[in-house]
Chain A
Amino acid sequence: MSEFLLLLLSTALVNNVVLIKFLGLCPVMGVSKSMDSAFGMGLATTFVITLAAGASWMLDNWLLQPLGLGYLRILTFILVIAAVVQFTEMFIKKSSPGLYQSLGIYLPLITTNCAVLGVALLNVEQKFSLFKSLLYGFGSALGFTLVLLIFAGLRERVALARVPTAFAGAPIAFVTISLLALAFMGFSGLNV
């Protein structure tokens, strides 16, 4: 049990998908202007990553490896991810038009969010079991959502501050997120 908990914690914090592995930076910069849309994006991405991690594990272990089609891995994974994202998009459009509007182009772009493909590929590389892959996917997604929320909160504060003109907008956001990355590096010293 503690092994699973450890896996969850270490994927969320120590090996944070955004700030340590630098995967999925595009939505982190793009959808972090307000806490509300950041939370929606986090939920959507969590859903996609977890589902895609499980689905790709199944495809890899039950289809590709028995048939010796390892070279089709990326292609199939992208196919699965695209389908899951499409489904998520339809679901959000139906259930929450406001969130759909505020996520805008970043919602279909989850397809190309490298965190999603990255997690699926890392699962294969580390030869996890199905349950562990799901946990790994969920943990990574949790880390992604956490960073997105923290960063959105910071950006909301930065928006109120009077930033020198040269730094206004994206530059101050980059400075902020790099400081956040430094902070997350501190977790690597965690002896758990």
Chain B
Amino acid sequence: MGFMKLFKHVLADDWGVHPDDHKRPAADQPVRVMPVPAKLYLPLQQHLGGAARPSVLVGQKVRKGELIAEAQGMVSAPIHAPTSGTIVAVTEITAPHPSGLTLPAIILEADGADEWISLQACTDPFALPAAEIGQRVAAAGVVGLGGAAFPSAVKLIGASRAKVTTLVMNGGECEPYLSCDDRLMRDAAEGIVDGIRIMLHATGALVALVGIEDNKPEAIAAMQAAAALYPTVQIRPVPARYPMGSEKQLIQVLTGIEVPADGRPADIGVIVHNVGTALAVRAAVREGKPLISRLVTVNGHCAANPGNIEVRIGTLAEEVIAFAGGLKGDGIGLARRVMGGPMMGMQIPHWRVPVVKGTSGILAFDTAEVAEQEPNPCIRCSSCVKACPMGLLPLEMSARIRNEALTDAIELGLKDCIACGCCAYVCPSKIPLVQYFVHAKGELAAQDRAKLRTDATKKLAQQRQERLEREAREKAEANAKRKAEREAAAAAKAAAAPQEVTS
């Protein structure tokens, strides 16, 4: 018995962690719609890829849904005015990013009318060609609403090219504290299923598997009811476990296929989208509405009245919290401000940071929740190895990174690390393992950039050398030519002179 139990334990894929989810009571509160604030701060880079380029002037009046910054480059997304009003500035604001650095943003002053531009609706999206849907989604600036904010149109168009057979819909919402996807699936299941069907049509995939963690029974019931009529949309409850919502893990659980280490899901005929994205795609295609608002979970022990709030993109976190009911005791005991989930979200320096398209939560943690502790030496318990959903060796990798041996860390699979933070979460010595990996990945990216730069410099130096040689040669040639001309002239003169004498 003991032996068999041990054996089972070895074989079970018990990756990941089971943090307390803290999703209720916030998840059970009905959605509150926040009125448009006086000013909206719209960063030009709310997505992965190239930043958008502003297409409005300061002082210009815009209406709700009007394009204010257009996509730039292959992977990018446009930005639209979340309400009607006047552009007052294009300036730098604090980014929702742990660095606390700034990024350029358009500041829009609302006029209170909240007046739409004329929208191009479409009654039958299934009659549209796939490319047209991709274009509509791209024009609406829809990005992945799960957090990574990858432009959805790029994925949809890429999928139809890559012959994707399965669409995996991510309703896992494995991050603790967050419940915006849960709420969305309970309230707008019909719309999500419709969006999924549009995405199936656009990608050419045969079936959509909707993975929902089993700690959300209401969402599962609502989605099952909505999808009952459509056999191509299958609702699949999955065990609640972090990071179930990571695309590689969800694909493996739902389809049984593992995404290769240096590959993408499309390589095995799968793409993953978030359920919230499906709703945004539906709005973009059916109603022509751009992505200008989203559901944000306000949670954490410091939040006086946790819940889900529909917020316009560009609203400051400060105002969202104030609308949600403020902080307990006016923020006394507040230990950490986080945007996104507690595991992979961004720690932000202050609340004057805007909600962007990928913001799923605004979390206010107290000291007990943060439980910061001085790290102790590694005791080689290998908890992190067991927890790592990618099957890596976090303790070995971090030791190498600490010694600046990045090449060794890469050999151990650093590039496969998804920075989910399970290792740091389970570490009994409180070693900031995932911070080491994020640091090392940034360092690697910096080295790659330096490498590119060195190559470019080398090319420039060579070109300069060639230019100098060419100039020297041309000069020498010109000199020689002039000399020859002079000599020829002198010779002609010399030849002409005696003739005159003789004549």
Answer yes or no: A and B touching, Cβ < 8 Å: yes
Residues of A whose CB lies within 8 Å of any CB of B are 159-162
Chain A positions within 8 Å of B402 at CB level: 160
Q: How far is the CA of A27 from the CA of B377 in the complex (A)?
A: 33
- Find the A residue at minimum CB distance from B400: A160
A-B CB proximity, top 6 nearest: A160-B399, A160-B403, A159-B403, A160-B400, A162-B377, A160-B402
* Interchain residue pairs with CB less than 8 A apart (8): A159-B403, A160-B399, A160-B400, A160-B402, A160-B403, A160-B405, A161-B399, A162-B377
CB B473 to nearest CB in A, in angstroms, measures 37
- Find the B residue at minimum CB distance from A161: B399
Q: How far is the CA of A160 from the CA of B393 in the complex (A)?
A: 14
CB A168 to nearest CB in B, in angstroms, measures 12
Q: Would you give the 0/1 interface string for B393-420, flagging 1 where the beta carbon is closer than 8 Å to chain A?
A: 0000001101101000000000000000
A160, A161, A162: which has the most chain B beta carbons within 10 Å?
A160
CB A152 to nearest CB in B, in angstroms, measures 14
Chain B positions within 8 Å of A162 at CB level: 377
Which residues 376-402 of B sit at the A interface, judged by CB distance below 8 A?
377, 399-400, 402
Chain B positions within 8 Å of A159 at CB level: 403
Q: How far is the CA of A162 from the CA of B395 in the complex (A)?
A: 13
Chain B positions within 8 Å of A161 at CB level: 399
CB A35 to nearest CB in B, in angstroms, measures 11
CB A162 to nearest CB in B, in angstroms, measures 7
Q: How far is the CA of A161 from the CA of B402 in the complex (A)?
A: 10
Q: How far is the CA of A63 from the CA of B66 in the complex (A)?
A: 101
Chain A positions within 8 Å of B405 at CB level: 160
Q: How far is the CA of A161 from the CA of B399 in the complex (A)?
A: 7
Q: Would you give the 0/1 interface string for B159-176, flagging 1 where the beta carbon is closer than 8 Å to chain A?
A: 000000000000000000
CB B405 to nearest CB in A, in angstroms, measures 8
- Find the A residue at minimum CB distance from B395: A160
- Find the B residue at minimum CB distance from A159: B403
Chain A positions within 8 Å of B403 at CB level: 159-160
CB A38 to nearest CB in B, in angstroms, measures 16
Q: How far is the CA of A160 from the CA of B395 in the complex (A)?
A: 11
CB B315 to nearest CB in A, in angstroms, measures 46
Which residues 342-391 of B sit at the A interface, judged by CB distance below 8 A?
377
CB B390 to nearest CB in A, in angstroms, measures 21
Q: How far is the CA of A122 from the CA of B429 in the complex (A)?
A: 53
Chain B positions within 8 Å of A160 at CB level: 399-400, 402-403, 405
Q: How far is the CA of A150 from the CA of B337 in the complex (A)?
A: 49
CB B378 to nearest CB in A, in angstroms, measures 9
Chain A positions within 8 Å of B377 at CB level: 162
Q: How far is the CA of A111 from the CA of B211 in the complex (A)?
A: 69
- Find the A residue at minimum CB distance from B398: A160
Q: How far is the CA of A133 from the CA of B377 in the complex (A)?
A: 51
Q: How far is the CA of A152 from the CA of B400 in the complex (A)?
A: 16
Q: How far is the CA of A160 from the CA of B405 in the complex (A)?
A: 9
Chain A positions within 8 Å of B399 at CB level: 160-161
Q: How far is the CA of A159 from the CA of B377 in the complex (A)?
A: 15
CB B488 to nearest CB in A, in angstroms, measures 57
Q: How far is the CA of A171 from the CA of B2 in the complex (A)?
A: 44
Q: Would you give the 0/1 interface string for B173-217, flagging 1 where the beta carbon is closer than 8 Å to chain A?
A: 000000000000000000000000000000000000000000000
CB B88 to nearest CB in A, in angstroms, measures 54
Q: How far is the CA of A190 from the CA of B257 in the complex (A)?
A: 51
Q: How far is the CA of A159 from the CA of B317 in the complex (A)?
A: 46
Q: How far is the CA of A104 from the CA of B34 in the complex (A)?
A: 71
Q: How far is the CA of A169 from the CA of B399 in the complex (A)?
A: 17
CB A33 to nearest CB in B, in angstroms, measures 12
